[in-house]
A = this chain, B = another copy of it.
Amino acid sequence: MQLAYFHVAADVPQGAEPDAAVVIDVLRATTTIAWALNNGAEAVETFADLDQLRQSAAQWPESSRLMLGERGGQRIEGFDLGNSPVAVVPEQVAGKRLFMSTTNGTRSLQRVRGVQRLFTLALPNRRAVADHLLMDPPEQLWIVGSGWEGAYSLEDSLAAGALADLLLNAAADEACVVNDELTAALALWQQWKHDPEACLRQASHGQRLIGLGDHDADFRCCAELDRLSVVPVQVKPGVLCAS
């Protein structure tokens, strides 16, 4: 199992594709996806473009759909929920399809949408995704961060290191790190593994959320390691279900 990490979608090499990929957007898209599927959502469909999201949602029965999205920290007008992982409780999401607006996360999901086995990961379902991969280890695994507007993000790198740390420990001689990005992500995980929430709060995007106020529950939720057993897997391009 050759493990590589790419900071953002634009860093993912053109051409050769791996047999598995994991997309990470710790603050907060992939954390929200994990919690929504854990809480019974039928599926999560992600969109960068709001008009496309509205068009797709309109084709779904109103009683079994939800639209999720924020701009500048405010829920989008006409949408049911923002992008917070603490809002996707069972009473809201069970049995429903979630149409979710994300910018950075969607770009990374789109970049690797052709990969045969595609998962999303956040800190709460890190071990679940790792265990799933280890049951049938891919030859090549690409871990793809989402970053922020095309730039590196600390929190996605932390989670990449957290995943790789488990895989390397479990697979021993069967797993190796093949790029510098992942070596550095592992160092990040070593530094913060006992307090991932501190890392999320120090990250630029964490600072932005702190500036908006009232995100303490989100930080706790996004930093809570190995809480969930759900593995979000792409069932068709852009659509994620619990495996």
Which residues from chain B contact A67 at a C-beta distance below 8 Å? none
**8 Å CB contact of A154 from B152, B180, B188, B204:** B180
Summarize A's interface: helix, strand, loop or mixed: helix
Residue of B nearest to A199 (CB): B183
Residue of B nearest to A7 (CB): B152
Oligomer copy total: 2
Which residues from chain B contact A154 at a C-beta distance below 8 Å? 180, 183-184
The answer to whether B184 touches A188, judged by C-beta atoms less than 8 angstroms apart, is yes
Interface size on A, residues (CB 8 A): 20
Q: Is A56 an interface residue (CB 8 A)?
A: no
The answer to whether B204 touches A179, judged by C-beta atoms less than 8 angstroms apart, is yes
Q: Which A residues between 151 and 187 are near B, CB-CB below 8 angstroms?
A: 151-154, 157, 179-181, 183-184, 187
The answer to whether B203 touches A181, judged by C-beta atoms less than 8 angstroms apart, is no
Q: Is A190 an interface residue (CB 8 A)?
A: yes
A residues touching B (Cβ–Cβ < 8 Å)? 7, 11, 151-154, 157, 179-181, 183-184, 187-188, 190-192, 202-204
The answer to whether B187 touches A191, judged by C-beta atoms less than 8 angstroms apart, is yes
Residue of B nearest to A154 (CB): B180
Considering the chains assembled together, what is the distance between the CA atoms of A77 and B179 in angstroms? Answer: 32
Considering the chains assembled together, what is the distance between the CA atoms of A190 and B191 in angstroms? Answer: 8
A177 to chain B, nearest CB (A): 9
Q: 27 A-B contacts, Cβ less than 8 Å apart?
A: A7-B152, A11-B151, A11-B152, A151-B179, A151-B180, A152-B179, A152-B180, A152-B181, A152-B184, A153-B180, A154-B184, A157-B180, A157-B184, A179-B204, A180-B203, A180-B204, A183-B203, A184-B184, A184-B187, A184-B188, A187-B187, A187-B188, A187-B190, A187-B192, A188-B188, A190-B191, A191-B191
